[in-house]
Amino acid sequence: MRIISGTYKGRRLKAPKNLPVRPTTDMAKEALFNILMHRYDFRDLSVLDLFSGTGNIAYEFCSRGTLSVLAVDKEFRCTKFIESTAAEFNMPIDVLKSDVFSFLERNTQTFDIIFADPPYALEIESFELMSSLIFENKYLNNDGLLIIEHAKQTDLKDLNHFEELKTYGGNCFSFFR
C-alpha cells in the first residue's frame, strides 16, 4: 500500500499482517482520486472514512491537503494502526473505534465526502441502511458525495441518490449525491 500523490507521495505503508482488511488497490485508489481531483479542492474538504481499515483512503486525502478527516472502524487493531500512522506523518486524522452503523445513528457532524469501504460480503440491506442513514440525517454538506466501494457482484444502482458507477479491476465505486 502506498500514498499516490501529495506531500507523502510514494510513501509505502506496511500494515500488520493480522488486520482483517482488504485495502483499496493502488490502481483503483489512483483512479478514484483522479476523479475527485477534478471536482474538489482537497484543502477545503471534510471527509468521513467509514470502515477505514488500514486508513489507506484517509492518508491519501491528508497527503493531498485535507485538514479534516474522521476515520471510523470497529476493529481495535485497525484504529490503533491508523492513530500511530497519522501521528508518525503528522496527519490531521481523528480516529473513532465504533461500529459504523452505531456511529451513523448518533453522529451530529456533516461532511463533504463520505467514503465507505465495507466488507465485500455485506448484505444489500446493510448498504441500503448505510445510505439511508447518511441521506435521511443529512450528513452530507451541499454538493457532498457518498462513495461506496464494493465488489462487482454488488449492484447498488437501485439505491436512492445513486449517481454513477466506476469499475477498476475488481473494485467498484458507486457515487451518490
What confidence tens digit (pLDDT) does each residue in 9-24 have?
A: 999 988 888 887 887 8
pLDDT of residue 169: 85
Is the per-residue pLDDT at 109 higher than 90? yes
Looking at every residue in the chain, the average pLDDT score rounds to 95
For the stretch 60-96, pLDDT in tens is 999 999 999 999 999 999 999 999 999 999 999 999 9
Query: Given a cut of 90, is residue 135 above it in pLDDT?
Result: yes
* Model confidence at 1: pLDDT above 90: no
Give me the sheet containing 140-150, strands edge to edge. 93-97, 68-73, 46-50, 111-116, 140-150, 171-176, 162-168
pLDDT band at 26 (very low <50, low <70, confident <90, very high): confident
Helix segments in the chain, DSSP class H:
26-37, 56-63, 76-89, 100-106, 124-136
| Contact status, residue 87 vs residue 55, Cβ threshold 8 Å | no
Average pLDDT over residues 159-163: 96
Domains defined for the chain, CATH in brackets: 26-176 (3.40.50.150)
Predicted TM-score (pTM) of this structure: 0.96
Note the pLDDT of residue 16. Answer: 80
